[in-house]
Structure 1
Amino acid sequence: MNKNLLALLGIAPVLTPLHTLANDRPDPRPNIIFFLVDDMGWQDTSLPFWTEKTMYNERYETPNMERLARQGMMFTQAYASSISSPTRCSLMTGANAARHRVTNWTLQKNKTTDAQSEVLQLPDWNYNGIAQVEGTNHTFVAKSFVQYLKDSGYHTIHCGKAHWGAIDTPGENPCHFGFETNIAGHAAGGLATYLSELSYGHDEKGNPTSLMSVPGLEKYWKTGTFVTEALTQEALKALDKAKEYNQPFYLYMSHYAIHIPIDKDMRFYDKYKKKGMSDKEAAYASLIEGMDKSLGDIMDWLEKNGEADNTIILFCGDNGGYATGKEWRDEPL
């Protein structure tokens, strides 16, 4: 794959022109894949984002991040918001947090998520997130860049975490922002569980057990499919459909990984246990490698379908990672 872009974990990347090859599609504009990871630290990868490898780079295995870096560019000098919703609202609208005023994570309508303070007077921020229409208080109203892509002829796909608008507001649904396909995106910014054995947070009757239950993946319940893999398989099916449309596509591959809970992805867990990691460290590493496999699967699809040289990939994280001190590593799962 030639001239892809790899953006530093935790920054908003910049799009640059990509040389495109002629193909059978009437519209030669490049496809775009934005691959966003949740809560991944800059050292949570085997790919160094510094002048030398750190101890954490030696610990994890992310061969597909390395593969993407060899074929593109790395951006290592930039910043993101410190928490999920502000970053995602900025990515959708082009406005920074000082302008859109979403300064903490969003979830329930008209409810702030700030901790109470006896010292600070907390700002009256836009805790309902962003919206595409007027009518909801405490929202920032804007037309998303995805809507502009759709309006100009792109087929637009959302897969995974959204988290830029509160429940029962227009912002809760990615389709309101120009996405024609929405896979598992809703108002929540986390997930109840990665495990299909627990139906991704649904009871035996199919009812969600929390606000963090992952919607729309019923076909994978009780199949042993980790949610990262389920999302990847659904994204690949959406790409198969997009290929038939004969138009450029935009895929927003927004993984819930590696957000808590730190569940074990058994495809990779035992390997890290054999490296001498604690249960929690090995589970965390398995989340990272599962995400990396997803990246590789998507890159493989592009190559197999002749779209690799006509696709821009951007890899990014939404904010910093977890603390990695001894207390964190040894805390029970």
Structure 2
Amino acid sequence: MKKTLLSAAILTTFCAPVSYAVASEVTQPNVVILFADDMGYADAGYHNISQDVETPNLDRLAARGAILTAGYVTAPVCGPSRAGMMTGRYQQRFGFHNNTGPFVREEGIVQGMPEDMLNNNFGYYFQQNGYTTGMVGKHHDGKQRKFWPHHRGFDEFYGFNNGAANYFVGPKNQEEAARKPFSVMYRNDEVDENFDEYLTDRFGTEAISFIERHKDNPFLLYVPFNGIHGPLQATDEDLARYEHIEDEKRRKLVAMNYNLDKNIGRIMDSLDENGLTDNTIVIYLSDNGGKPKGNASYNHPLRAEKGTVWDGGIRIPFTVSWPGQIPAGQTIDDPIISLDILPTIANAAGIEIQADWQLDGVDIMPLLKGDTDKLENRFIYWNTSRAGAIRDEDWKLVIPNITAQRPRYQLFKISEDISESNELSKQHPEQVERLLNAWHAWDAENEDAKWGWNRNMFPVETNWRNLNSL
């Protein structure tokens, strides 16, 4: 494990406006989770990879705390990635391997969180322990209203429950909402008819409103932005800033990326202005990697893209700050996964973790604070119902097609080969066997995938498109 500090010059550049005293005693901290959509590893400015992106506020946030260079999510697509992070459990434990789709395995399956798990998420756990909880942005769980956040542990919900939405969303009425659900925002159960604003800006405004209304008591705010997921729609002002980028798709993406960063800055400024920064844990990550031919987000130097279990699909920008508690300017190379968020923030808030939560992650706060030099070596796993993967501190095994009669195996020394370019299965068959046995042992404890998009694997067609009104 490599753990380094940013230079004093960088820290001065990003941190000068705010003074952070090391706190000897901490009141119950606020928690803000900022979740981007389809942001590639290369498109976080602090990684210093893509030369055409600007993310000064994300860079400022990263400089306040720790950059997790080997940060992962549990799935390479939106829905299951969110299900894993919010529950703190591998979503395969309850059959949520894929985004909701037109086919299920058998009659009677309702696509979304299992009925007995609707309150198994960090919103509910924090709400039950005295926090005011809010969610602003994209949910993407089951379409029935019972799955919506304000029925499942969040005091307030503003946004949409779907895979994508238009960014230019004007006033809507109920009739149009029924016709065009991708263009409608909800405040709890009610359609919001009172704005005409670029969507990422709107989510920033709603997040700030939540902070200002609840600043006097502990709160948890979850902001899963729609940016920078398609459709590629940017403001004229942001597009003008990048008119020098010749590729039109990339120009739009970089403009959207910049707008996302501006709204991260607005949220950070709100915390600063309300005197909340020193007592707020802020976590930033993306739900999966970018898709260069889709939304033109870049993942280099990682291999592949969204939808795959090579690192380009699952290794994402990930940073955590808590001024005065987490030393600023850190770079940590230990493998971290989004499952670790729930136990980390629960322990920091003094919330007792219950056995029936069945959490799969670990508390990484001792690592972030410097109380330990490294995490205990462990396996982390992926299964999309088509492909699988497993890694520990040094090695990663990829199974590109787990349904094949004779699956192929690809082995990488991932701690030394971030681009997964040097395949070593023939040189190290003992590592293939070790990792494969561990993956099968883990997968044996999971449920089969309950739905997906492949008729051969999931043969029963459903009326999933019509569930929004239920």
Shift in Å, 1:179: 0.3
List per-residue Cα deviations over 1:251-286 (Å, max 9, x = no partner).
10110111110012223111111x233322211111
The answer to whether the 8 Å contact 1:40/1:320 transfers is yes
The answer to whether the 8 Å contact 1:35/1:252 transfers is yes
- TM-score of the superposition, structure 2-length normalised? 0.53
Residue 5 (structure 1) aligns with? none
Residue 94 (structure 2) aligns with? 100
The answer to whether the 8 Å contact 1:47/1:65 transfers is yes
Residue 76 (structure 1) aligns with? 69
**Could you tell which deviates more after superposition, 30-39 or 281-290?**
281-290
Q: Distance in 1 between matches of 2:55 and 2:100?
A: 31
Residue 262 (structure 1) aligns with? 232
Q: Is 1:289 the equivalent of 2:258?
A: yes
Q: Is 1:190 the equivalent of 2:164?
A: yes
* One of 280, 286, 291 as aligned partner of 1:322: 291
* One of 184, 191, 195 as aligned partner of 1:220: 195
Q: Distance in 2 between matches of 1:304 and 1:124?
A: 53
Q: Is 1:144 the equivalent of 2:118?
A: no
Residue 41 (structure 2) aligns with? 42
The answer to whether the 8 Å contact 2:31/2:280 transfers is yes
Letter of the aligned partner of 1:237 in structure 2?
S
The answer to whether the 8 Å contact 1:112/1:127 transfers is no
| Percent identity over paired residues | 27
The answer to whether the 8 Å contact 2:38/2:290 transfers is yes
**Measured at CA, do residues 61 and 169 of structure 1 come closer, stay the same or move farther in structure 2, by a change above 3 Å?**
same
**Measured at CA, do residues 207 and 97 of structure 1 come closer, stay the same or move farther in structure 2, by a change above 3 Å?**
closer
Letter of the aligned partner of 1:268 in structure 2?
D
Shift in Å, 1:123: 9.3
The answer to whether the 8 Å contact 1:30/1:248 transfers is yes
Shift in Å, 1:124: 9.5
Q: Comparing both structures, which one devotes a greater share of its residues to strand? A: 2
Gaps of 5+ in 2: 1-20, 187-191, 298-470
**Could you tell which deviates more after superposition, 295-304 or 316-325?**
316-325
Letter of the aligned partner of 2:258 in structure 1?
E
Question: Which has the larger Rg?
Answer: 2
Q: Distance in 2 between matches of 1:106 and 1:253?
A: 21
Gaps of 5+ in 1: 1-17, 114-121, 135-139
Residue 271 (structure 1) aligns with? 241
Residue 15 (structure 1) aligns with? none
Shift in Å, 1:126: 6.9
Residue 116 (structure 1) aligns with? none
**Measured at CA, do residues 264 and 208 of structure 1 come closer, stay the same or move farther in structure 2, by a change above 3 Å?**
farther
The answer to whether the 8 Å contact 1:266/1:286 transfers is no
Q: Distance in 2 between matches of 1:66 and 1:156?
A: 26
* One of 207, 219, 227 as aligned partner of 1:235: 207
Task: State how many pairs are aligned.
Answer: 271
Shift in Å, 1:22: 6.8
List per-residue Cα deviations over 1:135-161 (Å, max 9, x = no partner).
xxxxx5552221110111111010000
* One of 134, 154, 157 as aligned partner of 1:179: 154
List per-residue Cα deviations over 1:196-218 (Å, max 9, x = no partner).
3xx28x57964344332232342
The answer to whether the 8 Å contact 1:38/1:257 transfers is yes
- TM-score of the superposition, structure 1-length normalised? 0.74
**Measured at CA, do residues 99 and 226 of structure 1 come closer, stay the same or move farther in structure 2, by a change above 3 Å?**
same
Q: Distance in 1 between matches of 2:261 and 2:57?
A: 6
Residue 14 (structure 2) aligns with? none
Name the SS of the counterpart of 1:299 in structure 2. Answer: helix
Residue 103 (structure 2) aligns with? 112
Shift in Å, 1:235: 1.4
Q: Is 1:128 the equivalent of 2:111?
A: yes
Q: Is 1:86 the equivalent of 2:80?
A: yes
Residue 158 (structure 1) aligns with? 135
Shift in Å, 1:219: 1.6
